[in-house]
Each structure stands twice: as C-alpha cells, then as structure tokens.
Chains A and B, each alone.
Chain A
Amino acid sequence: MANILIVDDDQDFVEAVKSVLVSGGHRVVAAYSRETGMDAVKKENPDLMILDVMMEQPDDGFAMAHDLRKAEFKKPILMLSSVGTISGMTFDKDSDMNPVDAFEEKPIKPERLLAKVKELLGA
C-alpha cells in the first residue's frame, strides 16, 4: 500500500481515480490546485504523486513538477493530463522541461493506471 497524492482541479476525475486506487489498496489524498498541492506534499510526504497539467493556469502541472524537483522531492511523479488532446501536440517526460517519471494521457483505463502506479512505485 502506498500513500498517493493526486493534484487535479477536476473533482469528478479525482473521485474516479481515488476509487480506482483505493480498490488497488492505496491510501489517496487529493489537492485541487498547484498551491494547495505544494502544501499537501509537505504535509503528506506522499510515496507517489499524480499530477494534472491544466489547472488555474494552463501550465500549472509543468511548473509544479519543476518546483517539486527544485524542492528536492525525489518520489515518482505520474503526470496525467489531457493537455495533448486539447492542444493537438505531444508532451512527454523530459529531464529539464518536464521532470516527471511518466506522462499519460487522460482518459486512462483503470487497469493501465494501476499498472503504471505499480511500475513507478517499484522503480
């Protein structure tokens, strides 16, 4: 069982992801903005983060990933966003511009999400 923090401004999506992850035996905490997300990281010290991109600002997730790595947060980050679908462009992990461990497009199948979480926690 892992302690997972999800940061996403879409409350319905957060609820859906939560139920999937809880069914997989994880403990899940949610935050709904970049600012509250940063506070939650300090408070919860999660084993893994699931991070949206387009929140209050269209690039909040990218900026937050950068801030987290600057703050020495070394746990895995799974970026889960529809920014690629909306913009028609490709986004991926990138050691400088997008320092996350995996980038997945929304929507995501529950089994793929659980597999990805398992993979990242095992890494």
Chain B
Amino acid sequence: MQLVEREKLDKRIETLKQCYGNDRSALLPILQDLQAEYGLLTGLIMQETAHALGIHPVEVEGVATFYSFLRTDQKQGKYVIRLCRTISCDLAGKARVARQFENELGIRFGETTKDGLFTLEYTNCLGMCDQGPAVMINDRLFAKVTPQMVPQIIMDCRQDFLKTVFPEITPSDVQKEGPILKNALPFGEGLKKALTLSRSDVIATIREAGLKGRGGAGFPTATKWQLAGTAVSDTKYVVCNADEGEPGTFKDRYLLHAQTDLLLAGMTIAGYAIGAQKGYLYLRGEYLYLRKHLEKSIEKRRQSGLLGKDIQGKKGFSFDVELRLGAGAYICGEETALIESLEGQRGEPRNRPPFPVDTGFMGNPTIVNNVETFIDAAIICAKGPAWFAEYGTEKSKGTKLFSISGDCKKPGIYELPFGITVQELLEEVGGEDAKAVQIGGASGHCIPAPEFKRNIAFEDISSGGSIIVFGKNRDMLQVAKNFMEFFTEESCGQCTPCREGNIKILEGIELLEKGRCSTSYLNELIRLGETMQLASKCGLGQSSPNAFLSIVEHFKNEILGRVPEAV
C-alpha cells in the first residue's frame, strides 16, 4: 500500500516539475502544491521531493520549516483560520476576535480541532490594515471581523462557504487619487512609447524623472537599471517585489489588482532596458487570492503580444513573466532574501555587496523593484519625466501612495506628493488628535506630536507608505510590544544581534509592563538596540529596534514606573 502511495506521490512530483522546472528554484512551489493536496509535508514527501530535485532531504526540510505557511509537524485542518495579529488589527480589536474563535472551536491558537476541520493560527500582517481585524481562511479573506461574526464564519466553513457570497477580491478603500492613480493612460501606452526609445534612453528617462524605489529605501531606480543593463551577461532577470509584508502597508494589494497592466508594462519596460528575457512576480502568500487575477492578466498580455516573443513587433525583444508565491515570511521582502526564496532556499538575506544587480537570481544580474516603482516607471515612459518631476521635492520627486490605518477617521489609500508634513497628512486622514504616528511600518520610526511639522520625503522621514496613527489613549508600550513580538517572530535567526536582540528587547518590554525595569537596565536595552542597528546583517535586524528606541525616546515618562494590575 505504501509503495503504491509512494509511486503516486512520485508521479505527482514529476508533473509539478514539468510545471515549475527541474531545478532547485522549483522547490517552493512544489512544496506549496503538495501541502495543499496532502495537508502536511511528511517525511516521505520531503524525501521524494529531494530525490526528484537531486538535493538532500535535509535541505528540503530546512526550507519547509522556514516558511510559516508550510507545515511539517501537525496536519493542518481543512480550513486554516489565520488571524492577523499585527499592529493595525491589534488596534482594531483583534484580541476579542481571537478569544471568540477559541471559544467557538474549543482549541487554542496553534491547534487543530479533533475532527481535522479547523486549524487556528496567528499570522503577521494580511495587508488589510485599514479594514481590520482581518482573517484569512484558506484563500478567502474576511475584513472588519467582529466577535459576533465568528460563529457565522465558522458555520460558513462547515457548509463549504456555499451560503456566503464572497467578493473575489476585497475592495480597497481609495480615499485620495493623484496623478499616478488618475493617469488615464490608454492601454499599452507606456510600453509602446518605451519601445520607440533605445535601452539607454529608457534609463535616461527614468533618471531624468528622478524616480526612487517606492519600497522605502529610496535607491535611484535608474542606477539599479543602469548597472544591470550595462553588465555583460546573456541572462538577466527582472523581479517584482510584491511581498508587501510591512505592518501597516496595503497599497500594493490595491495596485496589484487595480493597476495590473501598468505593473506588467513596467516590468516589461525594465526587461527591455536591462536586456532581461524573464521576470518574476513574487507575490506574498497572504495575497493568494490575487493569484488567479494576476495569472489571467499575464496570460491576456501574452495573447495580446505584450509578453512573449518580439513584443509589439520589436524584433529580438522577448520577455515573459512568471508568478511565484511566497509562503509567509516577512523577511522575503528584503531583496536578497527574496532572491534566495525564488531559488528554492530558506529566505535568509545574503551579504551585500555583491548587490542583486550584479549577482542576483541564479547568479545573474537582477533588478528587484517594488510594485509601485514599476507602475511609476510605466507612466513616466508614457507621460515623460518632466510631468513626474513636477510633483514632490527636489530629492524626492513624484507622488507616493500611502497606506493609512490606526486611529483616524478615514483610513485607506492616499496618493500624496512627497514633502507633505505629518500634520498635513493627519488633517487629510482625520487624525488631528494623534499623539504619535508610526511612519514606515514596524521597521520605521514613531514620530511624536512635537515633530509633526517634519516632512515625509527621502531627505527627512523616509517611508515605503505605511502610516499608522496612534490616538491620545493608546498605550505606547503596548505598541512597542506588538512591534517587538512581530520581529521576534519574523527574524530569520541567521545573525545573533537580530535573533537574540529582539528577544531581549521584548523581555525588557515585559519588565516595563510589570513596572520592574530599572532605568539602568532600560539604558542597557537602548544600547542593545543601537548595537543591533549597527551589527545586524540585513535591513530587518538593523531597523527592528527603531520603533522601540523612538518610543522610549519620546514616551519615557509613559512607560516607566508602571504599577502592575492587581492579580
């Protein structure tokens, strides 16, 4: 019997190899599909997959245990209920929703019901920060969940969702459109214009526009493209980082759905400019429900001659895009970790230099850009660099999409020019009473009211677009705790400052909660945070203490000397 099962499994793996490829880079999608079918990656599954790809089973287990959406220990239920526990959903009342799920199912988080129907799990940021608390059940998404909705949701699951009408994709709340969202471009315009230019002129156009990476780091896009484009190599890659995992960020979720053609056009333009033949769209596992839409859009462009061979009649220019799905690892938003993940490895960041433009996917020149960056690039090619440079500041040209959540009247997506002050932004979103604003997500900085005159721009406060507003009654220590719980969970564990430092800071916060932290120990924690900023290997570790340090700096009086609640 076991032999029959094994043969069946081997056949299935062979079919998946034909779909995803014969090399190591096919490992993650193969494991994802096998888990979906078998509910668990057993030792046998990992062993047979390893044999099929010619790697050691331990390597497969290393990968399978790295990603939170892959399971090797306990069979997952038919319905995996994933409740978002990050800051915005926390502010929106996640704790009571969690308690009600536990009450209804009679299990704790991390457990599966005895009938094998439900698994209850916490997950980090589902990208529904403006519509929290959010719950993902398999590939379906529930927004603004309340405790009283919980029994109905469970009943719907028991009836295979037959009685519930789901929107294919939960609508986004776009509160303010600007020149990018209101681009009104005819279909295919950006790519058409770009293909009339030489490769170097495309890059010169992007340079003249002053476009900087919209993921948050603000690296000049043209520089990235220029280095990859000039490098001598027959094989180059374009990668779209759609692993939008920063707590408080959800604008890419909207763009991936509403501006799909511009995104794919931007990737194709980048492919033309750098001389790449292949692009990967790395979509975070939490956005699984967007997969169908994206694959359909890619196929439509192939049929229209906008992807594939000799695109739009341009002889010799071939480019195609393949969708790859992440598996629940925040760290894969870091570009070298993303490339590792694409290659079928654990998503652990690489040493830099060399940078991905030089030695990226499979050792070839690779550019990795954010979803919004590709869209901006496509519009710039259509409308010209001067149009784009009209907006923003001297060093931060253009507009930026912001994801606004937390304690404000109008959360949602806003397109605003770079250079706007925090105060102006708060007036726009109805958050004038805020006592602090977290800019740049969990890895960003907490800005207190006296600093609301500062500008959101690369030359002052840089941001990938995540803005979380904290009202007057928010406990800033709880905010810091939520961020540090997030980083403790999401650290890849590769380097000591990040792996151990985040745990130590979280323990320190728990001491502060109990009113048992001396000032001298708090100072030790501050020094530890500063060491992490310097000594961690990648951006995650370097930025993970930011929120804690800025909260301690600005709200010391609020967090020290607490009297613990009576037991």
**Same complex origin of A and B:** yes
Q: Which of A56-103 contact B (CB under 8 A)?
A: 57-59, 62-63, 66, 70, 83, 86-92, 94, 96-99
Complex Cα gap A63–B221 (Å): 13
Task: Check A59–B233 contact: CB distance below 8 A.
Answer: no
Which chain B residues (152-178) contact chain A, with CB distance < 8 Å?
Answer: none
The 7 closest A-B pairs by CB, nearest first: A87-B358, A59-B226, A90-B232, A89-B231, A89-B358, A59-B223, A97-B230
- Give every chain A residue within 8 A of B354 (Cβ-Cβ): 86-89
Q: Which residues of B contact A63 (CB under 8 A)?
A: 204, 207, 222, 226
B421 at the interface (CB under 8 A from A): no
Choose among B199, B220, B275, B359 the residue that contacts A89 (Cβ–Cβ < 8 A).
B359
B355 at the interface (CB under 8 A from A): yes
Known: A57-B223, A59-B223, A66-B204. A86 touches B353 (CB 8 A): yes
* A99 to chain B: closest residue by CB: B200
A58 to B357, CA, bound (A): 11
Whether A91 lies near B359 (C-beta < 8 A) is no
Is B227 in the interface zone, CB < 8 Å from A? yes
Q: Considering only CB atoms, which chain A residue lies closest to B207 in the complex?
A: A63
Residue B15 interfacial (CB < 8 Å): no
Cα–Cα, bound, A63→B229 (Å)? 12
Contact A97 B200 (CB under 8 A): yes
Q: Can you list 23 contacts pairing A with B, beta carbon distance less than 8 Å?
A: A57-B220, A57-B223, A59-B227, A59-B230, A62-B227, A63-B204, A63-B207, A86-B353, A87-B231, A88-B354, A88-B358, A88-B359, A89-B232, A89-B365, A91-B230, A91-B232, A92-B232, A94-B230, A96-B198, A96-B200, A97-B226, A97-B229, A97-B275
Residues in A whose Cβ lies below 8 Å from that of B204: 63, 66, 70
Which residues of B line the A interface, CB within 8 A? 198-200, 204, 207, 220, 222-223, 226-227, 229-233, 275, 353-355, 357-359, 365
Interface size on A, residues (CB 8 A): 20
Q: Which residues of A contact B (CB under 8 A)?
A: 57-59, 62-63, 66, 70, 83, 86-92, 94, 96-99
Are the C-beta atoms of B227 and A58 separated by less than 8 Å? yes
The reply to whether A66 and B200 contact each other, CB–CB distance below 8 Å, is yes
| Chain A neighbourhood of B226, CB < 8 A | 59, 62-63, 97
Cα A86 to Cα B231 with chains together (Å):
13
- Tell me the smallest distance from the CB of A89 to a CB of chain B, in Å: 4
How far is A101 from B155 in the complex, measured between Cα atoms in Å? 72
For A87, list chain B residues within 8 Å (CB): 227, 231, 353-355, 357-359
**Chain A residues within 8 Å of B222, by CB:** 59, 63
> Which B residues lie within 8 Å of A59 (CB)?
222-223, 226-227, 230
Closest residue of chain A to B223 (Cβ to Cβ) is A59
Chain B residue with the shortest CB-CB distance to A83:
B227
Residues of chain B within 8 A of A83, CB atoms compared: 227
Residues of A within 8 A of B275 (CB): 97
B233 contacts across to A, CB distance below 8 A: 89-90
Q: Report chain B residues within 8 Å CB of A99.
A: 200
Which residues from chain A contact B207 at a C-beta distance below 8 Å?
Answer: 63
The closest CB in chain B to the CB of A98 belongs to: B230
List 15 additional contacts besides A94-B230, A98-B230; criterion CB under 8 Å: A57-B223, A58-B223, A58-B227, A62-B230, A63-B204, A63-B222, A86-B353, A87-B231, A87-B355, A87-B358, A88-B354, A89-B233, A89-B365, A97-B229, A97-B275
- Residues of chain A contacted by B223 (CB below 8 angstroms): 57-59
Closest approach, in angstroms, between the C-beta of B353 and any C-beta of chain A?
A: 6
Which chain B residue has the least Cβ–Cβ distance from A57? Answer: B223
